[in-house]
Structure 1
């Protein structure tokens, strides 16, 4: 096996009485192991799929998230596909000259690109403005690094964003220079593209969160778009966030880094405050020329309306020159029902579950047991009328169709997501994240039911609400009009009106610092049954200054929250990692440990 067991190759080894998969990390002539070494069982494949930098990164992330290195490698290296492995990876042609012009309106944007093209490693947090063609700007940054002889890695939240960046890279670089690492093409195509990157045939990569581990040769730039999107949080152990993966790679491999988004997270703001990254923004005077934003209060709900006069006028004026986007936070028809007389929630007479309506001619149905309430009556006042305090995208489209007769109303949500719309004067009703891109931008954007986005019981409720609104508002054309329906005095809506994600992120970071919450503190949650949590608190060797909050019930389990100052974060991760090893050796009841969870 001497010729095939190369560093990075897949092998089978004997461990705990059974054959398990592994990787050759390195080969040396000596060992510090005092026991007897075991031979390899066999070499599965001589293809070096685990690059040295990814092996080092897996160890770093396992320590950071108190997890097992094998779990990180499972995320980093896709399953083998033997047929794809036998196919060669044609080399890419020489890199073309990078374009210019997309970053002209961004302060210090040209300086950032010049340093990239000169082979430098600048690091920046970029706040995109309304009507910015951010895929083209990302492609230009990647092309600048590529022209300097280095690779580029771009991570975006979902496949729709991948498609947009893919088209932009194709326009800038041409055919045969980049690959898209997503699961859409199937395991064979994904593994083929992964091998093209691992072999150095492709050095520009765009993909979703798993692409953050792509073994790009001579990596010179990592780009993350919209780091506040929860799709960047890995749902599998050890739950690494794409932002932390790319930042770790930037530090480890001394690469340039670009964190971009229309909104800004407190974590990204902390990178600027600490001096790790510089700020790239659009000047205020240019923002004022590009978009006009206003917040208007909702009218009296007792009259059954949810679209104020200002929003109605914005839609009517916008339809005179192009499409109009209406964002609503809920999908479906009527997400909840209440008595029309006393406003008491409408409940099922069989199981007391909430009633919903899926269409204008469909009787109410229980969301829990499916019972149809054809003759419902209110148990509080005896009334038989129903109203919808929360209306979905289908009901909103129906209402707008009646208001603007003769206008095409299109819906985009759930499984019926529309990717693009033309320049026709249509109304597009979309849920959060399903907003189509208009070819020439939207003439107007109306954001409904902002109170519902702010009502989430979560630390990041206001931050997430502003991110959703800004992402929708950024789809306007230059000179467009944005109307948000809600409380104009709320800080998040004020930040939207001023188009000030920077100030909002700074304020959020300061308030969380005073409350000892992330990103000023390091948190970890331990979830399991009470007996397992008692074992955890007995065995764990917490660092000095650690706080233990809980346990508290969460669904069918209980949860303990561990909190330390940011400076002791590595000590907390080390303590939890040692705890995991002790518990595994003793075969104790399992618990789920998450370091810096996205939601609390």
Structure 2
């Protein structure tokens, strides 16, 4: 990687004769033998390796390189690779004197004897801390992630290294304890290859497996036993989970096996100082096991022996900050670079997980069919003998079978009701002509937030008092979709003596007691029930999940259903799941058979025929129409690349956050935005990312119009 001086050059507005003199000076200096760096402040320099290469905290693609700075003698001891520093970056002209620019943070990545820059180097301004928070292994991982996602190294390092909290660094490092004993197989004995997998981890091996977990509450204990077996070999273990609730369950299971103080929990709920203190314990080698959410994927564990991820299909694993890496891909890179074991577990199975097995990179780890049938609840669809007694059962939102199942299950325990949409009535239409109700200001969908509250736009939050249909002039509305709050209200009236609880984005329940209750939840927010689990579950409005115009609609629907059904008691204990969806659809049949792997394999085969991810690599380019066209025209894409589109994007939300994002990107609110997809065959993903990054860097350097947004491996391509 090329290096550069810590302070930028002179202004481009200088007279031509001065520019010519400057170019001649640079040419002469380049011909002269390299000498020890001089600083324009005249500070005494370190005797050995007086040049520090610094990664500045500027997450811009065209500045994705190291900058050389001189190391003053007073900082020689502390200015070591991996520490945080303050440097001057940027310069201007003021009264004929050269100014050093403003102070920004950075990391020293290495110390060298000479610099490629022929002029005087600016010195390091300050060593913020002698703590080496960016070790070489973490730097290499961040570089690999940045290259894979066409992003800048500084952006990835911001994700990997938490902000400094000075008080947390005062805690002394302690040596790690003795490795624990090899655990018993426990729940892994239910899987034919489970004990062998644990044994390989305990013996220092690096097995790679895709684990299809059985339904029920035992997966946290099984994950904890895999981590404990790895620790028994003297190596470190890492488990990344989609949210804080799942991480807390795994944390409790590992604490029960190891005791307190043998591992750390890295989640945002801990607070900045506590999280940094725990991160430092890992970096210093005091702790060798980490459980956490997606930020923990970069945890600097020494001698990593196992990289595990639970439920890789959850959106929480995809970071929303540039360059938006996915935890699964980061852990795959770690497992390959650090030669560690890899474990991907879930109740469902993504097409990416199926591809790992199909390619032979990982082995399947699943139970036999008899064990699956004994562990799963009974799955019933709206067509299970209901049509004769209830001809409208297929069209009803709560058919007779659902009401009967709830009534019987409430005698034995809680009942889970999964509703795909949050809110009260999130979609409305004209009662006369069925035209969707839209906001007159931003054209967003109108929704009812309560039984007696005014309509509100779901995009701009504008209240709508006197709505009138633009097509037929009607003033009466009907519901197209019912939300979780409306469903809870209806069930509360139907079962007045039973408590009704809701769990959703605004308030997610951690758990519910084992007793008669109705728990209405949106997908992904289902709380586990105490005791043996839920007595029954209703999966409502299956069409809302299956009807989304997205390539992953079927996979996502099955994923949500399996996660909810896994919380229900097994069929032998009376557990029943009713799914309100067309029984003949493939995801419904996969749920009835409890066959997530078979469904994922068929999805993968279809993706291979069509050339869609994960069989191919894809990137999304979005922005103003003209900017997207210009960017694609000047990008030197691989010869195998295929451009799909561009196509118009839906109207953006006009809130303050959206306006700020548009302004930052150089666009205007209300302008037409488009998205193009660029596809390459397997093995050409690195070339595609490099081409996209190079073109973006050129545009930023030239300041050529509005900035386009890049997203490698976009989660939705519908």
Larger Rg: 2
Question: Which residue, 541, 563, 567 being the options, matches 2:683?
Answer: 567
| Alignment pair present for 1:147 and 2:228 | no
Task: Summarize the Cα distance change of 1:385–1:182 in structure 2 as closer, same or farther, 3 Å threshold.
Answer: same
Question: Which residue, 456, 474, 479 being the options, matches 2:548?
Answer: 456
Cα displacement (A) at 1:361 = 3.7
Please name the residue that 1:293 is paired with.
379
Q: TM-score, normalised by structure 1?
A: 0.94
SS at match of 2:491: helix
Deviation string, structure 1 residues 13-37 (Cα, Å, up to 9, x no partner): 3444334322222334x45736457
For 1:377 and 1:458, how far apart are their aligned partners in 2? 31
Please name the residue that 1:33 is paired with.
116
Say if 1:75 and 1:210, in contact at 8 Å, map to a contact too: yes
Deviation larger for 288-297 or 263-272: 288-297
5+ residue gaps, structure 1: none
Please name the residue that 1:585 is paired with.
701
Please name the residue that 2:603 is paired with.
508
| Aligned 1:42-441 pairs, distance under 5 A | 42-100=126-184, 101-290=186-375, 291-297=377-383, 305-340=396-431, 343-346=434-437, 354-362=445-453, 364=455, 367=458, 370-371=462-463, 373=465, 386-440=477-531, 441=533
Say if 1:98 and 1:172, in contact at 8 Å, map to a contact too: no
Cα displacement (A) at 1:350 = 9.0
For 2:476 and 2:499, how far apart are their aligned partners in 1? 31
Cα displacement (A) at 1:335 = 1.5
Cα displacement (A) at 1:536 = 2.0
For 2:596 and 2:282, how far apart are their aligned partners in 1? 36
Tell me: higher relative CO, structure 1 or 2? Use CA pairs within 8 A at least 6 residues apart. Answer: 1
Deviation string, structure 1 residues 496-550 (Cα, Å, up to 9, x no partner): 1111110111111111111111011111112222343343223321112111222
For 1:427 and 1:240, how far apart are their aligned partners in 2? 37
Task: Summarize the Cα distance change of 1:57–1:399 in structure 2 as closer, same or farther, 3 Å threshold.
Answer: same
Deviation larger for 575-584 or 127-136: 575-584
SS at match of 2:403: helix
Cα displacement (A) at 1:435 = 0.6
Please name the residue that 1:9 is paired with.
83
Please name the residue that 1:527 is paired with.
622
Say if 2:212 and 2:365, in contact at 8 Å, map to a contact too: yes
For 1:500 and 1:351, how far apart are their aligned partners in 2? 43
Cα displacement (A) at 1:96 = 2.8
Cα displacement (A) at 1:390 = 1.1
Cα displacement (A) at 1:318 = 1.6
Please name the residue that 2:536 is paired with.
444
SS at match of 1:102: helix
Please name the residue that 2:655 is paired with.
none
For 1:137 and 1:302, how far apart are their aligned partners in 2? 40
Deviation larger for 131-140 or 401-410: 401-410
SS at match of 2:619: strand
For 2:396 and 2:555, how far apart are their aligned partners in 1? 27
Please name the residue that 1:536 is paired with.
631
| Alignment pair present for 1:472 and 2:564 | yes
Cα displacement (A) at 1:568 = 1.5
Say if 2:78 and 2:130, in contact at 8 Å, map to a contact too: yes
For 2:364 and 2:393, how far apart are their aligned partners in 1? 46
Deviation string, structure 1 residues 242-270 (Cα, Å, up to 9, x no partner): 11100000000000000011111111111
Query: How many matched pairs?
Result: 598
Say if 2:416 and 2:537, in contact at 8 Å, map to a contact too: yes
For 1:536 and 1:380, how far apart are their aligned partners in 2? 40
Say if 1:249 and 1:255, in contact at 8 Å, map to a contact too: yes
Cα displacement (A) at 1:462 = 1.2
5+ residue gaps, structure 2: 1-74, 92-100, 652-671
Deviation string, structure 1 residues 121-173 (Cα, Å, up to 9, x no partner): 10000111211411111111111111111111111111111111111111111
Say if 1:350 and 1:371, in contact at 8 Å, map to a contact too: no
Deviation larger for 398-407 or 496-505: 398-407
SS at match of 1:566: coil
Task: Summarize the Cα distance change of 1:473–1:254 in structure 2 as closer, same or farther, 3 Å threshold.
Answer: same
For 1:540 and 1:370, how far apart are their aligned partners in 2? 41
Say if 1:412 and 1:428, in contact at 8 Å, map to a contact too: yes
Say if 2:87 and 2:126, in contact at 8 Å, map to a contact too: yes
Cα displacement (A) at 1:366 = 5.4
| Alignment pair present for 1:596 and 2:713 | yes
Say if 2:393 and 2:400, in contact at 8 Å, map to a contact too: no
Deviation larger for 300-309 or 559-568: 300-309
Say if 2:176 and 2:285, in contact at 8 Å, map to a contact too: no
What RMSD over aligned residues (CA atoms) do the two structures have, in Å? 2.5
For 1:66 and 1:528, how far apart are their aligned partners in 2? 17
Task: Summarize the Cα distance change of 1:271–1:35 in structure 2 as closer, same or farther, 3 Å threshold.
Answer: farther
Cα displacement (A) at 1:552 = 2.3
Q: TM-score, normalised by structure 2?
A: 0.79
